[in-house]
Structure 1
Amino acid sequence: MKSHHLPLVYSLVLAALLPSLVCAQAVPIEGYLVDSSGRFVGSATPGQCWHTAEWTPALAQAPCDPVAKVAAAVTPKPAFEPNALPASGAAPVAAVAAAPPPMKTAFSADALFAFDQSSLKPEGTQMLDDLVAQLQVSNYDQVMVTGDADRIGSAVYNQKLSERRAQTVQAYLLKKDVAATKISTSGQGESNPVTTHQDCADKKGAPLIACLQPDRRVDVEMQGTKAATATP
């Protein structure tokens, strides 16, 4: 008689468990069966909780399964620590900003002056006015005016001519309110030509003067030039 009651007992036990299993699905924990209270179904002993078909070791949760410890990520130490003091204990040296490159403008002496002269032509003043306009919208530390001459005539004469032309340009800039303390002049005479002797070797008179035109010039170089900051 007892054997006839056993299936009924097992059926009753399973029937009692079914509501719990149905409710367990309402609060899922990935890889595990849980009851309606969110507790694992099964024993709290490691390995005795009920897994779903999706369970993998990566989903392991305590206290059901051993949880692998994840090593803390180690941030590599930089080879150079910007704020670290040198071994000597001296304070770090602040980086020095690179100075802006100089701005250089080359004027043809023939455009500024008549041949063998150091007085400005009208068109020469217009060219210098354009230079002044550029200076007015810039901050600069120094303006260097350098005169150059061709090789026609003596070296001494050409040296003096190049100096006079540089001084003429300086005087014009001063008249336009460029600070005198920021302007310097020099003359190089015929010592720094653009042409070579071979370029004009077979020429004389007017053709030679025209050939040597690149050597007659005035260079204006502005050191530390940068755009001026607008004043509020």
Structure 2
Amino acid sequence: MKKISAKNTLMGMILIPAMFSGAVLAQETVIDKDKTVKKPEAYGVDDRGVVARNTTGLCWRTGYWTPAMAIHECDPDLVKKPEDAAAAAGAPAAGAAAAKTAPEKITFSADALFDFDSAKLKPNGVQSLNEFVNGIKDLKYDTIIAVGYADRIGSDEYNKKLSIRRAESVKAHLVSRGIEPSRIFVDGKGEANPVTGNSCVGDKKTKALIECLAPDRRVEIEVAGTR
């Protein structure tokens, strides 16, 4: 977990929010002609070992899915075809090669961006996002992903909506700073993936519990690009 700073805004990978229906969760094995490549449990597979899809043809993502685990067959907008990637890697550089940024996720504390139970950016939150924009101004990127998270206080449904609204507020501000809206994707995970785990005791909305769960309230921004 890393806090945002004006001088240290490194870039992560990409994700595109999607909705999928049921499948068997298992480790995926992708057969590519003469070789077998093991993948983490990013996608559900059926009994044949083939990536499971819903009735609209979309792949089933497991809870372990991350942008770095995406495959071209399921997320073509995130991953180039293997042959395209190989061709790009083998092509001679016209001048100095662009330096790739080290993939790293940037996490903003929701308490720094918003008041409790609010999706309206605070002045300090605006300043933090402005610093983020300044940090990527020299970066060549395709997509920015803003993912909101909430703590476990309140209902699952409410927290899911709150996390989405917060991610959308972040997107709106980034757009106001000149970033193309078509390059920014948002998602809200609600109470999923809590940073605090089981370390915060209690369920009642007390000051102590709110403070303890603060790390769970966050917005993560991921960017992929080259300088």
Give the aligned partner of residue 120 of structure 2.
119
Give the aligned partner of residue 201 of structure 2.
201
- How do 1:61-76 and structure 2 match up within 5 A? none
- Tell me which of the two structures has the higher relative contact order, counting C-alpha pairs closer than 8 angstroms and 6 or more residues apart: 2
Give the aligned partner of residue 171 of structure 2.
170
Deviations, residues 39-67 of structure 1 (Å, cap 9, x unaligned): xxxxxxxxxxxxxxxxxxxxxxxxxxxxx
Give the aligned partner of residue 157 of structure 1.
158
How far did residue 95 of structure 1 move?
Answer: 7.1
The code of the aligned residue for 1:112 comes to L
Q: Between Structure 1 and Structure 2, how many residues are aligned?
A: 133
Give the aligned partner of residue 182 of structure 1.
183
Contact 2:147 2:189 in 1 (8 A): yes
Pair 1:142 & 2:143 matched = yes
Quick one: distance in 2 between partners of 1:101 and 1:146?
A: 20
The code of the aligned residue for 2:211 comes to A
Quick one: distance in 2 between partners of 1:196 and 1:222?
A: 26
Taking only the aligned residue pairs, the percentage that are identical comes to 46
| Shift in alpha-carbon separation, 1:95–1:164, aligned structure 2, 3 A | closer
* 3-state SS of paired residue (2:223): strand
How far did residue 226 of structure 1 move?
Answer: 2.0
- How do 1:81-92 and structure 2 match up within 5 A? none
- Scaled by the length of structure 2, what TM-score is found? 0.55
Q: Which has the higher helix share?
A: 1
The code of the aligned residue for 2:155 comes to S
Give the aligned partner of residue 52 of structure 1.
none
Instruction: Give the structure with higher Rg (CA).
Output: 1
* 3-state SS of paired residue (2:89): coil
The code of the aligned residue for 2:162 comes to L
How far did residue 180 of structure 1 move?
Answer: 1.3
- Scaled by the length of structure 1, what TM-score is found? 0.54
| Shift in alpha-carbon separation, 1:162–1:203, aligned structure 2, 3 A | closer
Pair 1:96 & 2:89 matched = yes
